[in-house]
Structure 1
Amino acid sequence: MGTISNGRTIKPFENSHAPGLDWRKASRTDLDPILKDCVIVAAALDAKDHPHFSIPDGTRMVALSDDKDADSPALYFSRAEFTKFAEGVKDGEFDDLMATDAEMEQAAAVVAV
């Protein structure tokens, strides 16, 4: 059985498409009770027989999914791909996709219901 953690709390969690992984979500989200409101990420098994030529066997992988549904697909990326994306986030390349204050308030109200 896998787990899910927000850096403060760890709970059992199993994604049917990526069993046994230990998922992490942003510390800004809650786990008690588990609020399903976030993108989740996990260290995945090393690549084996990946269909894309640029991902040879043994490549270290990262899985991303959505915690709102334990049957959500898991998307797999090499750690190099994930690093490039995370660096872009840190550099502000995706700031135009960030929620507005009003959208954040609306999301918090829905979660609180």
Structure 2
Amino acid sequence: MGTLSNRRGTVSFDNSHAPGLDWRKASRTDLDPILKDCVIVAEAPDAKDHPHHSIPDGTRMVALSDDKDANSPVLYFSRAEIRKFIEGAKDGEFDDLMASDEEMERAAAGAGAPAAA
């Protein structure tokens, strides 16, 4: 059985597509099983027979998924790919994709639908 943790705690969690992984999520999100709200990441087994030629056997991999559903698809990226993405995020390259304060308030209230115009 795998786990899901943030910096405040750990709970049991298994994704059916990647059983046994120890998933992590941002400490700004909740571990309460009623409120699923985050992208999750896990150290994955090293690549073996990866379908893309740029990922040779033995490449260290990271798994990404969604904590809203234990059957969510799992995407695998090399640590080099993850590094490039995180560096871009730190540089603000994706800031335009972040939720507004209003969207965050709706999400916290559980009203994820857009407001009527």
Match of 2:42 in 1: 42
Match of 2:115 in 1: none
1:57 is displaced (CA, Å) by 0.2
Could you list the per-position Cα deviations for residues 54-73 of structure 1 after superposition, in whole angstroms to 9, with x for gaps in the alignment?
Answer: 00000000000000000000
Structure 1 runs of 4+ aligned residues shifted over 3 Å read none
For structure 2, list consecutive stretches of 5 or more residues without a partner in the other structure. 112-117
| Alpha-carbon RMSD | 0.9
Match of 1:54 in 2: 54
Q: Please give the secondary structure, in 2, of the residue aligned with 1:103.
A: helix
Aligned AA (1:83): R
| TM-score, length-scaled by structure 1 | 0.95
For structure 1, list consecutive stretches of 5 or more residues without a partner in the other structure. none
Match of 1:106 in 2: 106
Match of 1:72 in 2: 72
1:76 is displaced (CA, Å) by 0.1
1:7 is displaced (CA, Å) by 1.2
Identity of aligned residues (%): 79
| TM-score, length-scaled by structure 2 | 0.92
